[in-house]
Amino acid sequence: MCPFSAQRTAQFDALIHSIMEAGQAAGLAAAVTDRQGHILFEKYYGLRDAEKNLPIDGDTIFGVASITKSFTALSILQLAEKGLLHLEDPISRYIPEYADPDPGEPVRIWHLLCHSGGFYPQKRILMQDVARELGFDPARDGDYAFDPAIEDRGTRLVARRMTAQTDRIDLPGRAMSYFNDGFALLSHIIYQVSGERSFADYVKTHICAPLGMTRSSSEFLAPARDPNAAAIYVKGPEGRTTSDNLDNAFVLNGGGAMKSTLHDMTRYVAMYLGEGQFAGGSRVAAASSVREMIKPRQTNGYGSYYGFGLMVTPCGGYTLVRHGGSLPGVSSHMAWSYEKELGVVILCNTEGVAVSAAAEALMRLAVGEDPEICLPAYDDRPWDDALLASACGRYASDEGAGFAIEAENGRPVVVEEGRRSPLMTIGSRYAVRRGPFGDVNFELLSDETRGVYAMRQGSRIVKKVQ
């Protein structure tokens, strides 16, 4: 059967419509590419602007949010190839405002690339707040992404806050917890050592231009003004409303500032399938650098690993390299399989949409499998009374995450934003919360000194506070 048969494509369409309905999504773009950069499947759902009834096409600009982290990691590996930095370098060598609590165990560049500096997640330091403090005027001063005063002030604020976090998860390199501040500082290191006037210039010159990604950048003003930019939709008590791409934007751009299009992103994914080279053209990175990025460096929950700016997860009988992104008005996901020599991209202009599930379904469609969602099967392994009691309590993060674990009929229940959801216990420290489009993984973290001191929820480690 043709992988894109009418029957299976109709199944995929129905799934996308259900995902969009559940997430109140305005518009979504989906594509499959092969290693040569040929687009094998491309389809658009909904609208780029619901109020103006404007359609989506392959050149519509979307935010990609944390997919930016792969651009940052690739930039660091490029600079390492040139000998301008080394992955073992302590970050304090480039950012003196950051001081390691233990100079014998410094936070190194590679630690930040795989979120293993030992830091708990922090609340964002926002671009607009720092710009306002500095008296920045975009009408006078241009784009936020190019301003050296914002760059300098943001770096100092982030570095000092990291220094002040003395209650760490663990020593550097011991545990992975998703940490936006780390990629913020990596983008400053790129700016500092590359000789470019900004991180935005570096990425445009050394990644986007060689790949022909002519409509991609980490700027803020030009993408918003583009006549073919997607409107940005956020969800609140009164339903879906519009916003802008400065909403919740981090002060430094390496963690989530990229904007791109479906056609540009397929070129980016095809480059990874070609291990640093797009369709026989100029090489963006050495194959060895791409291989370094996709090595499993840290466990990232049950069966998942994090490399350098990329995740590695099992998917049926093959492996997916992937990353997603979420910001106000952004839900994005890219994934590829070296075994299948195929990659997928999903871009959506609404926050909180299950695009990870959409990407997995599209990959199944592309390899000739049923695209319907198939949640993993787990053995039920109940926690004993002592383990359950130690897990119960309140967990909170400076970044904003907060939940409680309670016992109910001898089973753990997660209480979050007033909702109670049962957890399926699948190991001595693992549990999952099942959802219609995918699972959220939980993992208890403990040691002999602290007992249960935190819990992983998804990719983030959240501290136990009560």
pLDDT of residue 368: 94
Q: How far apart are CA 340 and CA 363, in angstroms?
A: 9
Give residue-wise pLDDT tens across range 360-377. Answer: 999 999 999 999 988 888
Instruction: Using the predicted structure, report yes or no on whether residue 301 has a pLDDT greater than 90.
Output: no
Task: Give the mean pLDDT of 16-23.
Answer: 97
**What does the pLDDT read at residue 236?**
83
Mean per-residue pLDDT, 328-334: 97
Kindly report the CA angle at 39 between 37 and 44, in degrees rounded to 5? 140
For residues 238 and 296, the model is more confident at 296
| Bridge-based pairing state of the strands 318-327 and 330-337 | antiparallel
Measured on CA atoms in the order 428, 429, 430, 433, is the torsion positive or negative? Answer: positive
Mean pLDDT (the chain) is 95
Q: Look at residue 237 in the predicted model and tell me its pLDDT.
A: 82
The CA angle 189-193-197, to the nearest 5 degrees, is 90
What is the C-alpha to C-alpha distance for residues 131 and 6, in angstroms, rounded to an integer?
51
Model pLDDT, residue 281: 83
CA distance 51 to 336: 34
pLDDT tens, residue by residue, 173-203: 999 999 999 999 999 999 999 999 999 999 9
pLDDT digits (tens, 9 = 90+) for 117-159: 999 999 999 999 999 999 999 999 999 999 999 999 999 999 9
Domain borders along the chain are 1-374, 385-464
| pLDDT over threshold 90, residue 48 | yes
- Asked if 67 and 324 count as a contact pair (C-beta separation under 8 A), the reply is yes
> In the prediction, which pLDDT does 284 show?
97
Q: How confident is residue 277, by pLDDT bands cut at 50, 70 and 90?
A: very high
Q: Cα separation of 267 and 122, whole Å? A: 33
pLDDT digits (tens, 9 = 90+) for 216-271: 999 999 999 999 999 999 998 878 999 998 999 999 999 999 999 999 999 999 99
Task: Please state, in angstroms and rounded to a whole number, the distance separating the CA atoms of residues 163 and 142.
Answer: 32
Domain at 385-464, CATH class:
mainly beta
- List C-alpha distances in Å: 457 to 19, 326, 438, 445: 22, 16, 14, 11
Closest CA to 352 of 378, 385, 330, 322: 330
What's the confidence (pLDDT) of residue 175? 93
Cα–Cα nearest to 69, from 227, 198, 253:
253
Q: Could you read off the pLDDT of 388-405 as tens digits, one per residue?
A: 999 999 999 998 879 999
Fold annotation for 1-374: Beta-lactamase (3.40.710)
Rounded CA-CA distance 228/231 in Å is 9
Q: Does residue 1 surpass a pLDDT of 70?
A: no
